[in-house]
């Protein structure tokens, strides 16, 4: 597997490694599948997380590497949620909804407390991360976004935008140029996906909280 951490090519003076490139391309596919509300978004996120884990681990970005471990765990949870639940749209895809105010409060609170806890850990142990607070922010923000996606909440797109706002400069600063470029593309896809889910949630009749969907 050493070839995954070797250089693929140079782009705008930045060295692009194979694991960074492949993992992020699959991540883009996963995001597009999420936009289409396809259950295959979760297997794609599993594969992307596994590949990117090797890239970030070699750069000693423990927060980003840990994020990929969380991506794998939460992707399994999301896959299970979408397979077992009852939230279906008329076209057979996943039904989406806006979170309740209570759920929004929980997501925001979990993000704030989680970022403080993880950032404090990274600060106390500097060897865990070169950029403790941005790393912690991305780590926790990704968890929040994926949990919201697993529950079919439109707000998951907003969470991804907030992660991208920090992820783009952090990836460029740490030499992951391809990740930085892909995060820019993520932003565009997130805006389109947000619009689609927003309109679908408004058009749908009121429904109970999504527990997932059958395969």
Q: Give per-residue pLDDT as tens, 115-155.
A: 999 999 989 988 777 788 988 898 899 889 989 999 889 99
What pLDDT is recorded for position 204?
A: 59
Q: Where are the beta strands (DSSP E) in the chain?
A: 7-11, 14-17
Token digits of residue 25:
């391309």
> What's the predicted TM-score (pTM) here?
0.76
Taking Cα atoms as reference points, which of 38, 19, 18 lies closest to residue 30?
Answer: 38
Q: Where are the domains of the chain?
A: 17-203
36 vs 156: CA distance, rounded Å? 14
Q: Decide if pLDDT at 110 tops 90.
A: yes
Q: Decide if pLDDT at 212 tops 60.
A: no
Q: Decide if pLDDT at 40 tops 50.
A: yes
What pLDDT is recorded for position 86?
A: 47
Report the SS3 class of residue 20.
Answer: helix
Least confident piece of the model among 60-64, 79-83, 101-105, 113-117? 60-64
Q: In which band, very low, low, confident or very high, does the pLDDT at 183 lie, cut at 50, 70 and 90?
A: confident
Q: In which band, very low, low, confident or very high, does the pLDDT at 71 lie, cut at 50, 70 and 90?
A: confident
CA count, 13 A, side-chain hemisphere, 87: 24
Region 78-98: mean pLDDT is 72
Q: Decide if pLDDT at 13 tops 80.
A: no
Which residues make beta-bridge pairs with 7?
A: 17
Residue 128 region by backbone torsions, left for phi larger than 0, else alpha for psi between -120 and 50, else beta: alpha
């Amino acid at each position: 597997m050493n070839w995954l951490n070797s250089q693929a090519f140079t782009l705008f003076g930045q060295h692009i490694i194979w694991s960074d490139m492949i993992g992020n391309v699959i991540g883009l596919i996963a995001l597009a599948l999420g936009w289409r509300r396809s259950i295959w978004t979760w297997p794609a996120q599993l594969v992307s997380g596994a590949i990117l884990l090797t890239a970030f681990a070699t750069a000693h970005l423990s927060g980003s590497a840990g994020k990929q471990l969380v991506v794998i765990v939460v992707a399994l949870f999301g896959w299970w949620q979408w397979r077992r639940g009852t939230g279906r749209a008329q076209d057979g895809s996943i039904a989406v909804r806006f979170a309740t105010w209570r759920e929004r409060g929980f997501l925001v609170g979990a993000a704030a407390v989680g970022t403080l806890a993880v950032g404090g850990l990274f600060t106390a142990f500097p060897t865990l991360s070169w950029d403790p607070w941005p790393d912690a922010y991305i780590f926790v923000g990704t968890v929040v976004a994926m949990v919201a996606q697993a529950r079919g909440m439109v707000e998951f797109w907003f969470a991804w935008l907030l992660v991208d706002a920090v992820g783009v400069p952090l990836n460029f600063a740490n030499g992951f140029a391809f990740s930085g470029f892909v995060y820019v593309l993520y932003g565009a896809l997130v805006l389109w996906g947000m619009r689609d889910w927003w309109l679908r949630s408004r058009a749908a009749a009121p429904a109970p909280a999504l527990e997932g969907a059958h395969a």
